[in-house]
Chain A
Amino acid sequence: MRLGPDRVRAPLTPARPAPRASALAIATVVGVAGCSAAGGTSGSEPPRHTVVMLAASSLTEPMTAIAKDFESSHPGTDIQLSFSASSTVVSQVNQGAPANLIALAGRDAAEPLNKSRIVGGTPSLARNTLEIATPPSNPGKVDAITDLSRPNLNVVLCAATVPCGKEAAKALSAAHVVAHVVSYEINVKATLTKVQLGEADASIVYHSDVVSAGDRVRGVPIPASVNQTLDYPLIRLTDDPTTVQFMAYVLSDKGRKRLRDNGFLTQ
């Protein structure tokens, strides 16, 4: 089950021998919770029925639900989820973090991934578009993307190094808007939090985030002419049967329904 952003609940031994000690160091830096539900084994693979998945923050709600569905319909399995910015996921995997499955926001995010770790194809999990989010009371009176350039507005965006940030920059540039940004956050959920707390007047997040936040944020659509669409690749890193099974489940109708319920676009 998921624990929250930036925490990896890893089995006691890595999926394959870590090539460098820095792999574990990175995992530790990001915040290992220190316990393992799977229990350690002396083998170099995680126990057969555990799947470790690292996914982009925007997938938090749907993947958590999908994992729960899978665990209850497949007793004896344990899906361990960790959510962070796609760039963080990629850099962790490159450093040797033990993961079976990853999902990233946008094909661009997969570029720096060490290709030798990929097993099999990289089907598309879902698509996402951008949307402006404001606090429910809309203190900044933001109703269109062009409003974001007003000088006394607190606009918060994702950092340029994360997919959400990159795409937002593309959308703003396409709309010829220079937003009055006051902060670049480390992932899309942190961005959303600032809006929910009322500290930010507006931010650009994913449509799925606006949907899953419900009535805690108010969404302002971005015109299709400037909006960006991201394709979320689902990438498998190991060959074990449980991972294959889980991946198939995610891509099945049941999985896709969960994704749509949370604002993602699916085939």
Chain B
Amino acid sequence: MRNVRWARAGLVIPAWAAIAFLVVPLAALLVKVDWARIPTHLGSPIVIPALRLSLLTTTSTLFICMLVGTPLAWMLARSTHRATPWLRALVTVPLVLPPVVGGVALLMAYGREGVVGALVFHVWGWSIPFTTVAVVFAEVFVALPFYVLAVEGSMRGLDPRFDGLAATLGASPWRTFRTVVVPMVAPGIASGAALAWARALGEFGATITFAGSFSGRTQTAPLAVYFLLESGDPQGAIALSLVMLLISVVILGALRGRWLP
């Protein structure tokens, strides 16, 4: 009995240390905020547009991630081609890239002088940077790897015999994907979606580098927090941060209740 307790102490202590490390700054945020004057702080003209923009762009990002990320995850999960591990590594590169570097890379590719962007500008006259679309580009760039990795893990755990069985029952590959695979990996999809959405919401470096900062068009909530801090309004920054925290907790909490069995 005593041995078991000591063994447990060995694991429990670092676990609680980790929890404390994460929770204390969040608690500090709650303690330091000037509760009485929050409405004033949130009344700054850049706050509401920033929140609205963030919700708009993160929703679009999530939609795009699920649309293109799910087939990609399926391909990575089922393909036995030799190049697949390399492809998987490539997809995870944005995870390790500093976001600002990601922003620079996006400029090099899709900026007005960029490899692809120059062509787009030349043919259609569209310039992608400084637009809301650019914000979505930046968010998808950083969030997509999260989604793909989470979903792929879930799909790899799916017994491949199910695919064959569904085929013998007469289901086309598309029908199998839709009615068998996707429902069975739904928990993985949900957690991938939550991760991707959260990452997109907090995205700063790539956004400010590629999309710039303009209230209502490209100044997302994290950018607004930074600008509030810089304009000598730390309380405003904290207030907006708390709003973001509240939104995240509510949405992630709701997702959790619905998707996990």
Q: Report the nearest A residue to B128, measured CB to CB.
A: A199
The answer to whether A198 and B213 have CB atoms under 8 Å apart is: no
Q: How far is the CB of B31 from chain A (nearest CB, A)?
A: 12
A87 to B226, CA, bound (A): 12
B contact residues around A162 at 8 Å (CB): 230
Q: Report the nearest A residue to B131, measured CB to CB.
A: A182
Interface residue from A87, A186, A190 paired with B232 (Cβ < 8 Å): A87
Interface residue from A90, A161, A181, A198 paired with B227 (Cβ < 8 Å): A161
Interface residue from B107, B208, B219, B231 paired with A87 (Cβ < 8 Å): B231
A121 at the interface (CB under 8 A from B): no
A194 at the interface (CB under 8 A from B): yes
A185 at the interface (CB under 8 A from B): yes
Residues B111-161 near A (CB distance < 8 A):
111-113, 127, 129-130
Residues B77-129 near A (CB distance < 8 A):
107, 111-113, 127, 129
A59 at the interface (CB under 8 A from B): no
A contact residues around B229 at 8 Å (CB): 91
B contact residues around A230 at 8 Å (CB): none
A184 at the interface (CB under 8 A from B): yes
A181 to B229, CA, bound (A): 22
Q: How far is the CB of A150 from chain B (nearest CB, A)?
A: 15
Q: How far is the CB of A163 from chain B (nearest CB, A)?
A: 12
A95 to B226, CA, bound (A): 16
The answer to whether A154 and B232 have CB atoms under 8 Å apart is: no
The answer to whether A185 and B212 have CB atoms under 8 Å apart is: yes
Q: How far is the CB of B213 from chain A (nearest CB, A)?
A: 5
Interface residue from A85, A87, A88, A182 paired with B212 (Cβ < 8 Å): A182
Residues B203-235 near A (CB distance < 8 A):
208, 211-214, 217-219, 226-227, 229-232, 234
Q: How far is the CB of B50 from chain A (nearest CB, A)?
A: 13
A156 at the interface (CB under 8 A from B): yes
**Interface range for A:** 20 to 34
The answer to whether A181 and B111 have CB atoms under 8 Å apart is: no
Q: Digit string of A83-98 for contact with B (CB within 8 Å is 1, else 0)?
A: 0010110110000000
A174 at the interface (CB under 8 A from B): no
Interface residue from A91, A156, A183 paired with B230 (Cβ < 8 Å): A91
A10 to B140, CA, bound (A): 35
The answer to whether B112 and A183 have CB atoms under 8 Å apart is: no
Q: How far is the CB of B37 from chain A (nearest CB, A)?
A: 19
A77 to B112, CA, bound (A): 45
A183 to B129, CA, bound (A): 10
The answer to whether A186 and B107 have CB atoms under 8 Å apart is: no
- Identify the interface centre among B127, B211, B213: most chain A CB within 10 Å of its CB: B213
Residues A166-221 near B (CB distance < 8 A):
181-186, 190, 194, 197-199
Q: How far is the CB of B2 from chain A (nearest CB, A)?
A: 39
Q: Report the nearest B residue to A20, measured CB to CB.
A: B32
A112 at the interface (CB under 8 A from B): yes
Q: How far is the CB of A16 from chain B (nearest CB, A)?
A: 21
When A198-B113, A199-B107, A199-B112 are in contact, do A85 and B213 touch as well, CB less than 8 Å? no
The answer to whether B107 and A197 have CB atoms under 8 Å apart is: yes
Q: Report the nearest A residue to B32, measured CB to CB.
A: A22
The answer to whether A186 and B111 have CB atoms under 8 Å apart is: no
Q: How far is the CB of A252 from chain B (nearest CB, A)?
A: 33
A159 at the interface (CB under 8 A from B): yes
The answer to whether A186 and B208 have CB atoms under 8 Å apart is: yes
A85 to B231, CA, bound (A): 11
Q: Digit string of B224-252 for contact with A (CB within 8 Å is 1, else 0)?
A: 00110111101000000000000000000
Known contacts A91-B230, A112-B232, A194-B212; 9 additional CB pairs below 8 A are: A91-B229, A159-B227, A183-B130, A184-B219, A186-B230, A190-B208, A197-B113, A198-B113, A199-B113
Those 6 A-B pairs whose CB atoms lie nearest each other, nearest first: A183-B212, A161-B231, A182-B130, A198-B113, A199-B129, A199-B111
B interface with A by C-beta (< 8 Å): 107, 111-113, 127, 129-130, 208, 211-214, 217-219, 226-227, 229-232, 234
Instruction: Pick 24 A–B contacts, CB within 8 A, sort by A.
Output: A85-B230, A87-B232, A90-B232, A91-B230, A91-B232, A156-B130, A159-B227, A159-B230, A160-B231, A161-B232, A162-B230, A182-B130, A182-B214, A182-B217, A183-B212, A184-B214, A185-B212, A185-B213, A186-B213, A194-B212, A197-B113, A199-B111, A199-B112, A199-B130
A interface with B by C-beta (< 8 Å): 85, 87-88, 90-91, 112, 154, 156, 159-162, 181-186, 190, 194, 197-199
